[in-house]
A and B are shown apart, each in its own frame.
Chain A
Amino acid sequence: MLNRYPAWKNGLIVLVVILGFVYSVPNIYPDDEAIQITTDSLALAESDLATVTTALEAAQVEFFGEEFSEESILIRFNTVDDQLIAKTAIEEALTDDYIVALNLAPTTPGWLQAIGAGKMNLGLDLQGGVHFLMEVDMNAALGRRMEDNLSNVRSILREERIRTRGTNVVDNSHLEIRFANAEARSEARSALLDNFPDLQFQNRESGDVFILDMRTPADVILQTQRDTLQANRTTIMSRVDALGVAEPTVQQQGADRIVVELPGVQDPAQAIRFLQRIATLEFHLEAEPGASPASYTTYTSPDGLVVDVDNEVILQGDRISNVRSTLDQNGLPQVQINLDAQGGNQINRVTRDNVGRMMDILLSETRSRTITGLDEEGNEIEEVEFYEDKRLISHATIRTALPRTFVITGLTAREANDLSELIRSGSLAAPMTIVEQSVIGPTMGRENLEAGFRGVLVASVLVLIFMMFYYRVFGLAANSALIMNILLIFAVMSTLIPATLTLPGIVGIVLTVGMAVDANVLIFTRIREELSNGMPPQKAIDSGYNRAFTTILDANLTTFLVAVVLFTIGTGPVKGFAVTLMIGIITSMFTAIVGTRALVNIIYGGRNIQKLSIGSYRLPDKSGIEAT
Chain B
Amino acid sequence: MILGREIDFMGVRKIAAAISAVLVVVSILALIFNSLQFGLDFTAGTSVRLNYSDTVILDEVNDTLANNGYEDAVVVSFGSDREIRVVLPVDEDIEVDDQAAQAVVVGETIAALLSDNSSSEVTLLGSDYVSAKVGEELAEQGGMGMLVALGIIMVYIAVRFQFKFSVGAVVALAHDVLITLGIFSIFGIEFNLNTLAAMLAIIGYSLNDTIVVSDRIRENFRRMRKGTPVEMVNVSLNQTLSRTLITSFTTLLVLFSVLLIGGETTQGFAVALIIGVVIGTYSSIYIASNVILYMKVTREDLMIPVREGADPEGTV
Contacts and interface: CB of A to CB of B under 8 A. Distances in A.
A451 to B, nearest CB: 3
Given A373-B104, A436-B129, A561-B153, A503 B243 contact: no
B148 A373 contact: no
Nearest to B152: A561
A439 to B, nearest CB: 8
Contact of B263 (A434, A452, A459, A571): A452
Given A373-B104, A517-B247, A522-B212, A507 B126 contact: no
A462 B123 contact: no
A458 B197 contact: no
Contact of B207 (A433, A454, A511, A559): A559
A558 B207 contact: yes
Interface in B225-276: 239, 242-243, 246-247, 249-255, 257-258, 261-266, 269-270, 273
A133 B141 contact: no
A176 interface: no
Contacts of A508: 201
A515 B251 contact: yes
Given A371-B104, A521-B247, A574-B196, A451 B153 contact: no
Interface string B57-89: 000000000000000000000000000000000
B208 interface: yes
Contact of A462 (B97, B204, B215, B257): B257
A623 B211 contact: no
Interface stretch (B14-22, B25-33, B132-140, B180-188): B132-140
A518 B205 CA distance: 11
A304 interface: no
Interface in A579-628: 581, 616, 618, 623, 625
Contacts of A376: 49, 125-126
B213 to A, nearest CB: 10
A625 B253 CA distance: 27
Contacts of B13: none
Contact of A510 (B216, B247, B258): B258
* Chain A interface residue number, banded: 35 or more
B254 A378 contact: no
A570 B139 CA distance: 10
A507 B200 contact: no
A569 B144 contact: yes
A577 B200 contact: yes
A507 B273 CA distance: 10
A452 B137 contact: no
A455 B262 contact: yes
Contacts of B247: 514-515, 517-518, 521
A84 to B, nearest CB: 19
Nearest to A453: B262
B292 interface: no
Contacts of B144: 569
Contacts of A574: 138, 141-142, 145, 193, 196-197, 200
A573 B212 CA distance: 28
Given A462-B254, A507-B258, A550 B133 contact: no
Nearest to B96: A435
Contacts of B266: 451-452, 455, 503, 506-507
A149 B134 CA distance: 34
B305 interface: no
Contact of A448 (B129, B252, B263): B263
A572 interface: yes
Interface in B88-145: 96-97, 99-101, 104, 107, 123-126, 128-131, 133-134, 137-138, 141-142, 144-145
A619 to B, nearest CB: 12
Contacts of B264: 451
Interface string A498-526: 00000110111011011101100110010
Contacts of A450: 263
A522 B243 contact: yes
Contacts of B257: 455, 458-459, 462
Contacts of B125: 374-376, 378
Which 9 A-B residue pairings sit nearest by Cβ, starting from the closest?
A451-B263, A455-B262, A514-B251, A514-B254, A459-B254, A455-B258, A569-B145, A459-B257, A565-B149
Given A385-B100, A554-B211, A562-B204, 18 more contacts: A133-B134, A371-B104, A433-B96, A435-B99, A454-B262, A454-B263, A466-B250, A466-B253, A467-B250, A511-B273, A514-B250, A525-B242, A550-B215, A551-B215, A562-B207, A565-B148, A570-B138, A577-B201
